[in-house]
Structure 1
Amino acid sequence: MSPADSSLTLNDRQLAGDAPLAAGGSGGASGASVGTLARSAGQTLTEQLAAQFAERIRQRLLAPGARLPSVRDCASRHGVSAHTVVAAYDQLLAQGLVEARRQRGFFVREQRAAQAVRATLPPDAPRVAPVDATALIRGMFHGLSDKPAPGLGTLPADWLDLPLLSSALRRVLAQGDPMIALQYGHPAGDRRLRDALSIKLASFGVRAVPEQIITSTGATHALDLISRTLLSPGDAVLVDEPAWAVEYARLSQLGMRLLPVPRGVDGPDLGVMATLIREHRPRMYVTVPVLHNPTGNSISLAHAHQVLKLAEAHDFWVVEDDTYSHLAPAHLPRMSALDGLQRTLYVSGFSKILTPSWRVGYMAVPPQVVERLVDTKLLSTLTTPAVLEQAVALCLEQGSLRRHAERVTQRLDAARHRTVQLAQAHGCRFVTPPNGLFGWLDTGVDTEALAQVMLDQGWLLAPGHLFQATRKPGTLMRINFATSQDPVFWQALSAARR
């Protein structure tokens, strides 16, 4: 606890806890509450309250910068006195988990590791909290309840085809080279899969011979290999905003300077992009052009052409993350097809359509950077699992993956229609046309606070601040159309908004 914290008296802390968050302050009011307190338990009410908040902070379900409920609000929710809440917050202060800011409230303290990373960034780099993104991911891994998770980033398990996966693995192990499971795979990835990927990419205009394709342990790993190979600490990188915060956090941890470009219906704001390019000379632009996460938008052909012209004129790479390609119409423009893999690097994977546990991704890249990327891959993972890669190749060769994707897409279309009706009936508004897996929704209230209230009821949300390059409170959130069809969820959301 800092000297400033220790100088706060009981009344000061009560005032701090009850004070509204100053406009533009870091971290929106979370409204985070915890589980029910038991008056007959072996611990005092103060100890129970402190322990439950501490556990949520350690699990990173309350991210650094998040504001704890005011003393008055917390006392009201749990039916305890303000003195009990202040005593619990005192314990959290003593453990170094929170800090008290005079007249503003109690906030989750930044971890020292995150502070050390930020200290290495140039002074004009946007300050990104890497753990903000992991808060949602950890929530998915913890299995908070048996309820559908509207904030989930993947398809529900019952939408996936387990017999398809089992059959592919059995056939590879029974009929393929028996040594495949007993030795390292090829450094660039299994040749059978790279051959199949070359054919698949050609179906939507991306021409890449197998020698230009490198496999990875998921699309995120491919993005990381590209960044580590083609960038150096301090380089400026153009990113969409909003976008998935894992990419912001990953680039920030590598010491890059983020240049957020507003993302519109047709793609990035070209005017803002041109200005940032002139002022900062970026080395790379990373984007999800098709079925963008979280807005669902896809880049227009005209915008794609203009982005490539800017890349050529100002000498920067364009990294095209096509993670949702299996859910998208083939006719949507890919910049890698327009560019012929000259300044573009194409990234995709199979976790979104087959199963999250099969971490099979890949990239198609310009010939001159292949060996450098393979060297980086060798240093990070040696090789990738050839058995899984051959199983994916089999699914591609036999058309079973294509048929599965068609069934999923039809089911997703129906889920999207139903979810849009439920959302609008409960007073929410889509700020972009609903497409793909995700909807970008305006709830009318602070979604960081809303997410914590709903989390206590077992509903996992994805509040809008997770998709901003710099933490900003707001009223937007991302929903997964496949996991947001339960009317009970929308009723609970309406009650929480009130």
Structure 2
Amino acid sequence: MTTEPPLDHDTLPTLRPQKLSRTAAQTLTEQLAERFAGRIRSRLLAPGARLPSVRQCAAQHGLNPSTVVSAYDLLLAQGLVEARRNRGYFVRERAPARTRGDDGEAATVERPIRSAGEDSHRMAAPINAAALIRGMFHPSGERPQPGMGVFPPDWLEGTFMAAAVRRVSGAKALADSSLRYGEPLGDSHLRRVLAGRLQGIGLPVEPSQIITTVGATHALDVVSRTLLKPGDAVMVEEPGWAVEFARLGALGMRILPVPRGPSGPDLAVMARYCEAHAPKLFVSVSVLHNPTGYCLSPTSAHRVLQLAQQHDFCVVEDDTYSHIAPEHATRMSVLDGLQRTIYVSGFAKILAPNWRVGYMAAPTAWVERLLDTKLLSTLTTPSLLERALAHCIEQGQLRRHAERIRIRLDAARHRSVKLALAAGCQLKAEPSGLFGWVDTGVDTDALSQRMLDEGYLIAPGALFHAARAPSTLMRINFTTTQDATFWRVFSRLTADR
């Protein structure tokens, strides 16, 4: 197994690298090889990703094809890529230290079962959602990034958060919240406010059923570590959130990808999975699904809950986008009343990404087990920020802020969709929420590398599938793709499709 040194984020290559220079101390071959090596080591080129063809790379950089071949040979010698006959050069799969199941096998992906008697194809999951996450922290200047999963900072700017922090951080309050651990479940005032908020969407819950976490992702992780063990089967929507596939894979789970359509998950596939694999958990983004923007229909929600009851699995509902969701959106946890569902949400998307305040609402019988896992992972959560958040919610400031965001997002979505269509893309889902799911007509893995050379980070469709495979789809952020400059670059790079 290859062991890599810890990654120093200060050494990450910038999104827009310097042009190759014929007068530099290094040869053109060495410069090109170093550029790809940096992206591979920083995970911006994920394992299994295909490098541009020799012809494409030579044309893109104005090089002789023999120079590109020599650069790829250097990467081969360094063990970073492999050549596949008649297919090209691919980033080598590493052998990371991974959690293994009781049978000694690493995490696997089961492909959807198409018929009751058909055996599923089992394969390792070469997921690298970390590539997208690392790109989010890349130095990128002022240029909007199409692949980002958050609102731009200037959309979230406001004075009310700072005022709330000042309000709750007087000398005595600051000492109380800083010099001792907070309440295990989370700040009691915030939990009361959250209970009222959930009752507003039709979910009757007591403050004692709510556990605060370090963001919604932490809540999902606490649930997985509490209810699952390595080797357990977990159903996850596909396409789906890249981080969830990667996180469950790292825990050694068997991932069962369930195709997600406009009204909800493919119920026939779920039913066959239940018969063949006895899954323990189903993870769903019911409202404004990432990356498609779909919302769950009441009929699909009822059927999923019937399957859960019949086959004894739990449902985790990730409602990260609740603040920009349509009114009266269907949520399984509301229909189920938290009998075998866990509701997860947070405030990083809409309020303050670095506050990292999330929470879960769970059946009373599961609360103590979930709390134990939280305490083992973080001991506590930041009381000061939780109290400030409670004040923002209680005074209606968060609600008014979210309304302003929704209005601004509607306008951005309209502009972005118009530009995407003009650039030759097709919308694969009705535009809704923060993200668009578009078909570019070209391999977006290869396109992502060319866009990096232009200073743009995109989110290729392969990232949103449990087993990476070539895709012409990409997820766009409507707030960062309303700039015609990006689409002009996109059109130029895809003109030879």
Please state how far the C-alpha of 1:117 moved relative to its aligned partner. 6.4
Query: Larger deviation: 136-145 or 356-365?
Result: 136-145
Higher helix share: 1
* Aligned 8 A contact 1:126 1:258 in 2: no
Question: 1:157 maps to what in 2?
Answer: 153
For 1:284 and 1:306, the matched residues in 2 are separated by 15
* Aligned 8 A contact 1:35 1:52 in 2: no
Verify: 1:440 aligned to 2:437, yes or no.
yes
Please state how far the C-alpha of 1:436 moved relative to its aligned partner. 0.7
For 1:155 and 1:91, the matched residues in 2 are separated by 40
Verify: 1:70 aligned to 2:53, yes or no.
yes
Superposition map of 1:231-380 within 5 A: 231-380=228-377
For 1:450 and 1:35, the matched residues in 2 are separated by 19
Residues 123 and 287 of structure 1: CA distance in aligned 2, closer, same or farther (over 3 Å): closer
Superposition map of 1:87-486 within 5 A: 87-113=70-96, 119-121=105-107, 125-130=122-127, 132-174=128-170, 177-178=173-174, 179-486=176-483
For 1:52 and 1:88, the matched residues in 2 are separated by 10
- SS, match of residue 374 in structure 2: helix
Question: 1:43 maps to what in 2?
Answer: 26
Residues 435 and 37 of structure 1: CA distance in aligned 2, closer, same or farther (over 3 Å): same
User: Under a length normalisation based on structure 2, what TM-score does the superposition of the two structures give?
Assistant: 0.90
For 2:467 and 2:441, the matched residues in 1 are separated by 20
Query: Larger deviation: 393-402 or 141-150?
Result: 141-150
Gaps of 5+ in 1: 1-31
* Aligned 8 A contact 2:108 2:123 in 1: no
Percent identity between the aligned chains? 61
* Aligned 8 A contact 1:161 1:404 in 2: no
* Aligned 8 A contact 1:97 1:109 in 2: yes
Please state how far the C-alpha of 1:152 moved relative to its aligned partner. 0.9
RMSD: 2.1
User: Under a length normalisation based on structure 1, what TM-score does the superposition of the two structures give?
Assistant: 0.90
* Aligned 8 A contact 2:108 2:255 in 1: no
Residues 77 and 427 of structure 1: CA distance in aligned 2, closer, same or farther (over 3 Å): closer
Residues 81 and 496 of structure 1: CA distance in aligned 2, closer, same or farther (over 3 Å): closer
For 1:281 and 1:176, the matched residues in 2 are separated by 53
Please state how far the C-alpha of 1:232 moved relative to its aligned partner. 1.0
- SS, match of residue 89 in structure 1: helix
- SS, match of residue 323 in structure 1: coil
Please state how far the C-alpha of 1:34 moved relative to its aligned partner. 6.5
* Aligned 8 A contact 2:107 2:255 in 1: no
Gaps of 5+ in 2: 1-14, 111-121
- SS, match of residue 89 in structure 2: strand
Instruction: List per-residue Cα deviations over 1:22-77 (Å, max 9, x = no partner).
Output: xxxxxxxxxx9975211111222222112111111111111111112223332333
Query: Larger deviation: 316-325 or 385-394?
Result: 385-394
For 2:30 and 2:157, the matched residues in 1 are separated by 46
Instruction: List per-residue Cα deviations over 1:197-240 (Å, max 9, x = no partner).
Output: 00000000111101100011010100000000001111111110
Residues 102 and 279 of structure 1: CA distance in aligned 2, closer, same or farther (over 3 Å): same
- SS, match of residue 435 in structure 1: coil
For 2:21 and 2:410, the matched residues in 1 are separated by 45
* Aligned 8 A contact 1:323 1:348 in 2: yes
For 2:21 and 2:215, the matched residues in 1 are separated by 44
Residues 33 and 129 of structure 1: CA distance in aligned 2, closer, same or farther (over 3 Å): farther
Question: 2:38 maps to what in 1?
Answer: 55
For 2:155 and 2:56, the matched residues in 1 are separated by 41
Please state how far the C-alpha of 1:294 moved relative to its aligned partner. 0.4
**AA at the equivalent of 1:45:** L
**Count of matched residue positions in the alignment of Structure 1 and Structure 2:** 468
For 1:116 and 1:292, the matched residues in 2 are separated by 28
For 1:116 and 1:278, the matched residues in 2 are separated by 26
Question: 2:10 maps to what in 1?
Answer: none
* Aligned 8 A contact 2:195 2:206 in 1: yes
* Aligned 8 A contact 1:350 1:361 in 2: yes
Please state how far the C-alpha of 1:176 moved relative to its aligned partner. 6.8
For 1:129 and 1:380, the matched residues in 2 are separated by 27
Instruction: List per-residue Cα deviations over 1:293-327 (Å, max 9, x = no partner).
Output: 00001001111111111111111000000000000
